[in-house]
Amino acid sequence: DIQMTQSPSSLSASVGDRVTITCRASQGINNYLAWFQQKPGKAPKSLIYAASSLQSGVPSKFSGSGSGTDFTLTISSLQPEDFATYYCQQYNTYPITFGQGTRLEIK
């Protein structure tokens, strides 16, 4: 199975900050990488697919990049509603696997 490792596991930031979350795959996954946002008690929300394609309706403050094994999610100008847990997910090979999550907290 392909292991997905996110860093950091948790992150404190302030409103207005720009943050970057990294996701590393244990083997190459081309650009078959997605990012999700999840708030407590809610279902995950799709942000990005194909490493850098923004899901319909998602604001452009979210951006993704990378290919192969290393990927990043960048969130610019953090707002209170952005504080949540973020997951990466590979879909190059079954079983689909997720990163362990990055909890983004208000400083």
Partner 1 sequence: EVQLVESGGGLVQPGGSLRLSCAASGFTFSTYSLNWVRQAPGKGLEWVSYISSSSSIIYYADSVKGRFTISRDNAKNSLYLQMNSLRDEDTAVYYCARDSQFDRGVYYYYGLDVWGQGTTVTVSS
Q: How far is the CB of 53 from partner 1 (least distance, A)?
A: 8
Q: Which residues are at the interface with partner 1 (CB under 8 A)? A: 34, 36, 38, 42-46, 48-50, 53, 55-56, 87, 89, 91, 94-101
Distances (CA, A) of 96 to 19, 25, 32: 26, 12, 10
Q: How far is the CB of 15 from partner 1 (least distance, A)?
A: 26
- Report the C-alpha gap between 104 and 28 in whole angstroms: 27
Rank residues 17 and 24 by Cβ distance to partner 1 and give the closer one. Answer: 24
Please list, in sequence order, all residues whose beta carbon lies within 8 angstroms of the beta carbon of residue 83, skipping any fewer than 6 positions away: 104, 105, 106
Rank residues 64 and 83 by Cβ distance to partner 1 and give the closer one. Answer: 64
Q: How far is the CB of 37 from partner 1 (least distance, A)?
A: 11
Rank residues 74 and 100 by Cβ distance to partner 1 and give the closer one. Answer: 100
- Report the C-alpha gap between 96 and 107 in whole angstroms: 33
Rank residues 45 and 61 by Cβ distance to partner 1 and give the closer one. Answer: 45
- Report the C-alpha gap between 35 and 19 in whole angstroms: 14
